Amino acid sequence: DFMKQGHGMLLLYTLKNPSFPEYSFSSESGVMCLDFHSDHPYLLAVGFYDGNVAIYNLKKASSQPSYKSSAKSGKHTEPVWQVKWQKDDMDNNSNFFSVSSDGRIVSWTLVKNELVHLDVIKLSADGTTMQGPEGLQLQMFGSGTSFDFHKKIDYLFLVGTEEGKIYKCSKSYSSQFLDVFEAHHMAVDSVSWNPFHLKVFISCSSDWTVKIWDHTIKTPMFVYDLSTAVGDVAWSPYSSTVFAAVTIDGQVHVFDLNINKLEPLCTQLVVTRKKNKTTHIQFNPVYPIIIIGDEQGLIVCLKLSPNLRKMPKEKKGQEVKKGPEVEIAKLEKLLSLVREPGSKE
């Protein structure tokens, strides 16, 4: 309940024992988001409801985070909606980024046992200044809700906002955006780059839609209306054309554009209790498993049935090609059908 904020918990489970957490940490403020470091999986970045960020080190036996921001060290003034680790910087310091409703995207670097912050970008709302009392100019900030970094172009990232816009930003320019997509009519709940195709990203929103974009084109390539607010969307790690979305009516929708461009292959009710909304979905990077989180704090693990992860059939004497090139070509072929015939690559 957003009006009654209490303590938060951070729990780490293994699929081998889903009934009891391996690690548990309790915090003063609700935990909004987390991200594991890809090279040092024992490091966990966490964003809190009170605007703080922290790093937990699972190798240490302490119940407190190893590093935490503070009011002095540039904490956010609103909830932190997403945190993401980045490659270590030039001096091999670990660093991660955070996005918050206060409109700041902040980079946090671990230097000599403290978190050093740097504002990468401030999202400005439309008509950025407002007349305050006695003619004061008040700066209005946009509210960031989600972001994602490009898989190959290190400086490029996308930010989704509460106003429904998606900004394409660069780490090098803090004052302006590379591009703005008028993406949705309501808050962008999630935005992420396709793991295979370097031009494509997906976004979902409370305005009931999931949209797939080519970042060089201002209009979406595919739009799916799921008839109720979409909480989260995720690309699959094994196929460039597969993604899954959760809607707040407790359903999961799995799409494979290669098989059906118009509707999901599967729509399944996962959460049955009334008034409970599904909020998050993620694919396991290795196994055909998805996990779904909901508002009551429950997590459901589901295995994708074989017909939801069909592999191309091998014809006699023909080898089926696999690998990233094939995945890119598969999605490119679909996009070329919807791109305007006149437009060049």
Give pLDDT, residue 128. Answer: 46
Identify the CA nearest to 155 among candidates 190, 107, 188.
107
Mean local confidence (pLDDT), 324-332:
81
- The second-level CATH assignment, the architecture, of 8-340 is 7 Propeller (2.130)
Q: What is the mean pLDDT of the chain?
A: 82
Mean local confidence (pLDDT), 313-320:
55
Instruction: Tell me how far CA of residue 137 lies from CA of 12, 125, 141, 143, 317, in angstroms.
Output: 46, 14, 13, 19, 72
CA 325 to CA 85: how far, in whole Å?
26
Give pLDDT, residue 171. Answer: 78
Reply yes or no on whether the pLDDT at 55 is more than 50: yes
Q: How confident is the model at residue 46 (pLDDT cuts 50, 70, 90)?
A: very high
For the segment 140-197, what is each residue's pLDDT rounded down to a tens digit?
567 888 888 888 887 888 888 888 888 888 877 666 677 788 888 888 889 999 988 8
Three-state SS at 134: helix
Mean pLDDT lowest among 78-82, 110-114, 277-281: 110-114
Mean local confidence (pLDDT), 58-67:
81
Determine contact, residues 8/49, Cβ cutoff 8 Å.
Answer: yes
CA 114 to CA 69: how far, in whole Å?
9
Mean pLDDT lowest among 62-76, 81-95, 207-221, 293-307: 62-76
Reply yes or no on whether the pLDDT at 137 is more than 80: no
CB atoms within 10 A of CB 151: 14
Highest mean pLDDT among 86-100, 111-125, 138-152, 282-296: 282-296
